A and B are shown apart, each in its own frame.
Chain A
Amino acid sequence: MFINIEKRGINTGFDFLGSEAGFGILQSLIAYDEADSHGKVFIVGLLNTILVSVIGIIFASLIGLLVGVGRLSKNWMVSKLSMVYVETFRNIPILLQILFWYNVVLAALPSPKQSISFFDSIFFNNRGLYIPKPILESGFIAVIIAFILGIIAVVYLSNWAKKRHDETGEEFPLLGTSLAILIGAPVLVYFLSGTPATLEYAQLKGFNFRGGWTLIPELLALSFALSIYTATYIAEAVRAGIEAVPKGQKEAAHALGLKDYIILKKVVLPQALRVIIPPVINQYLNLVKNSSLATAIGYPELVTIFSGTSLNQVGQAIEIILMTMAVYLTLSILISVLMNYANKKMQIKER
């Protein structure tokens, strides 16, 4: 095959990965410059794909869980609203939704000069959401250490609380205490060590904002569309899972006098998860693959910049498409393995 291609005068091989890309990229998680190679473009694209996938998966799961539970709510409004949400967003193609949100976001936002600002430090306009960027000084290491110690403390605390609950049956306000430790300790250390971080604010210079962190509208629109769309499927999976839990379990829990949210948390969801996880794996996979539709709105992820722009600059379609397909295959397998592991953990242990 490659011999035939070379006979036609088309370059083959992976040498292009080392050659200079020569084009700019709107958003990159690692330092990227036009003089960097196509190999670096691949990494930048891959990281942007992972970024939007992770954001999408987190929000889709949260929305999906809430809506799925909401559909079974005894409150008529909540259950109907959830139903309308699911039926609407599930039945519109995802590409249309991406374009819709992108255009809505752009149309609704003002130009940089008229940006919406909060306390003169956060700015929102059609170039993105600008937030101050923390510049860390050397003393900041103490804050990080405090945070890590906090995590260790919380792990110990939860073990202790569980043990105490098993022995005495007394509940300990674990969530609140943990949050207090995780947030309180680093904040306390931060002020004690003399505020070793400054904020770099975005400033309007010329006709655009400079400095600070920018969340580009493409990322906002894409993660929004992906989460909203995928959440509908996750919600249905959650509903199916909850309905699969035998009624007797809930009735028994009620009979014990447990509160509704305790029943949901400790009786219903643990059993429902066994049914929920397998279909949710599929939805996560779909979300990752759907992120390639970003090319419609110019979000610089793998397909847009690597199998789009790079491919066109070097023209080596076969190598580039193979690499891109390998990435999606690898990501899919990774998600499957992780979720199957979680699934195994959730299964009823049969002895």
Chain B
Amino acid sequence: MKFLKTASLSIATVALLASVSAADTLDSVKKKGVLNCGVSTGIAGFSATDSSGQWKGLDVDMCKAVASAVFGDASKVKYVSLTAKERFTALQSGEIDLLSRSTTWTNTRDTSLGLNFAGVNYYDGQGFLVNKDIGVNSAKELDGATVCIQAGTTTELNLTDYFKANKMTYKPITYDTSGQTIEGFKSGRCDVVTSDASQLYGLVLKVKDPSSVKVLPEIISKEPLGPVVRQGDDKWFNIVKWTHIALLNAEEFGITQANVDSMLKSKNPGIKRILGESGESGKNLGLDKKWAYNIIKNVGNYGESFERNVGANSPLKIERGLNKLWNDGGIQYGAPIR
């Protein structure tokens, strides 16, 4: 069935590329009245459904933020759940307008797939999760291990590089979804799961006895994750890029979901510009002047979204680390809105 889906997406690519040559994504999104946003099949903290079936997570907040910027309404999103294998074809073919699915920014993807990365909403790195009883304390001791991986990810390539560099061998078991990957690990098919460290914390929660597993200390790669759009539509690219920047700047200025209305009266010129009280940022983006206000009102700032979904206020309890703002020791840096 997966094959059928990929095949039909590819055929859709042909059809679409043949008909729509210079697509205006903003116009088509406005016409549809809904943003088609590609998310994962369930990665805790990033994009997963909660007990009531609502999509939640850091990547989901990006979808909501873009919908807020365009429509002023965070609920005008249609979530399209995609496996790692399907995601790029879905974006290329126009099935989705925005891919917000823990996707690593790499050279190949940025240059040869007709895609643009609009920013980095999570700085991640690849790690290893093992059962404590195999008695391994470092990734360097994994020679000969059987490894569960999700197919079609940068993870697969990094793993090869790492084992080669350390002159070790491994056996890969590649599954389609992260759910299958953890099932394979739970049933003992593999010794190790490897994935972005952030996802491993989510996987730990899915194991029956979380104290029986551990994440090894090594981080073997850089995984800058962020939202992706199609190449060749600069207007839409700008909107997604500046949505991310608005989330960062809101945190820097201390504008939160709770205080955004009172901030409207602020005398701080920077705050006035971001909330649309002065400046032309909205007009330049082709959006309402309240675009950033709507984002913060509906979603909150970057820090709020982080803490709620993956940080201290979530079951994952991931440290902010590199994802702190630049003035707080991290590398998240929002270009000025002026």
Contact = CB atoms under 8 A, between A and B. Distances in A.
Chain A complexes with chain B = yes
Interface of A: 1, 4-5, 7-11, 22-26, 34, 95, 103, 106-107, 111, 126-127, 205-208, 210, 217-218, 292-293, 295-298, 300, 303-305, 307-309, 311-315, 317-318, 321, 324-325
A205 B168 CA distance: 13
A334 B174 CA distance: 30
Contacts of A7: 21, 232
Interface stretch (B138-146, B202-210, B246-254, B313-321): B138-146
Nearest to B22: A7
Interface stretch (B12-20, B38-46, B48-56): B12-20
A96 B123 CA distance: 38
Interface stretch (B154-162, B270-278, B291-299, B300-308): B154-162
B88 A23 contact: no
Given A4-B17, A295-B2, A308-B85, A126 B187 contact: yes
B69 interface: no
Contacts of A321: 6-7, 10-11
A207 B144 contact: yes
B112 interface: yes
A68 to B, nearest CB: 29
Contacts of A293: 1
Nearest to A34: B160
A260 B217 CA distance: 70
Interface in B111-149: 111-115, 134, 136, 143-146
Given A307-B6, A308-B85, A317-B13, A295 B176 contact: yes
Given A9-B113, A26-B174, A207-B136, 9 more contacts: A5-B114, A7-B21, A24-B160, A24-B172, A126-B188, A312-B152, A315-B108, A318-B10, A325-B7
Contacts of B170: 24
Contact of A312 (B88, B134, B232): B88
B143, B180, B187, B232 — which one has the most chain A CB atoms within 10 A of its CB?
B187
B18 A1 contact: yes
6 shortest interchain CB distances as A-B pairs: A312-B152, A10-B114, A315-B113, A317-B10, A9-B114, A24-B172
B108, B113, B145, B189 — which one has the most chain A CB atoms within 10 A of its CB?
B189
B108 A313 contact: yes
B1, B13, B18, B108 — which one has the most chain A CB atoms within 10 A of its CB?
B13
Contacts of B21: 4, 7
Contacts of B159: 23-24
Contacts of A292: 3
A320 B156 CA distance: 19
A317 B85 contact: no
Interface string B167-206: 0001111111000100010011101000000000000000
Contact of A22 (B11, B160, B175): B160
Contacts of A315: 88, 92, 108-109, 112-113
Nearest to A217: B189
Contacts of A24: 156, 159-160, 170-172
11 contacts: A4-B21, A5-B114, A8-B232, A9-B232, A24-B160, A208-B171, A295-B2, A295-B176, A298-B184, A315-B108, A317-B13
A298 B136 CA distance: 25
A292 B5 CA distance: 13
Contacts of B18: 1, 4
A298 B146 contact: no
A42 B13 CA distance: 22
Is the interface on chain B under 10, 10 to 19, 20 to 34, or 35 or more residues? 35 or more
A34 B164 contact: yes
Contacts of B6: 307-308, 311, 317, 321
Contacts of A9: 111-115, 231-232
Nearest to B20: A4
Interface of B: 1-3, 6-7, 9-11, 13-14, 17-18, 21, 84-85, 88-89, 92, 108-109, 111-115, 134, 136, 143-146, 151-153, 156-157, 159-161, 164, 170-176, 180, 184, 187-189, 191, 230-232
A interface SS class: helix
Contacts of B1: 95, 293
Given A1-B18, A11-B112, A309 B174 contact: yes
A23 B176 CA distance: 15
A207 B231 CA distance: 46
Contacts of A295: 2-3, 176
Nearest to B2: A295
Contact of A207 (B17, B145, B157): B145
Contacts of B145: 206-208
B26 to A, nearest CB: 17
Nearest to A292: B3
B220 to A, nearest CB: 14
A205 B144 contact: yes
A312 B85 contact: yes
A207 B191 contact: yes
B144 to A, nearest CB: 5
Nearest to A107: B187
Contact of A309 (B10, B151, B231): B151
Given A10-B113, A207-B191, A300-B174, A309 B160 contact: no
Nearest to B136: A207
A182 to B, nearest CB: 36
Given A1-B17, A318-B14, A296 B189 contact: no
A304 B156 CA distance: 14
A300 to B, nearest CB: 7
A87 B321 CA distance: 58
A312 to B, nearest CB: 3
Nearest to B111: A9
Contact of A318 (B13, B146, B171): B13
Contact of A308 (B134, B152, B171): B152
A95, A208, A210 — which one has the most chain B CB atoms within 10 A of its CB?
A208
B252 to A, nearest CB: 33
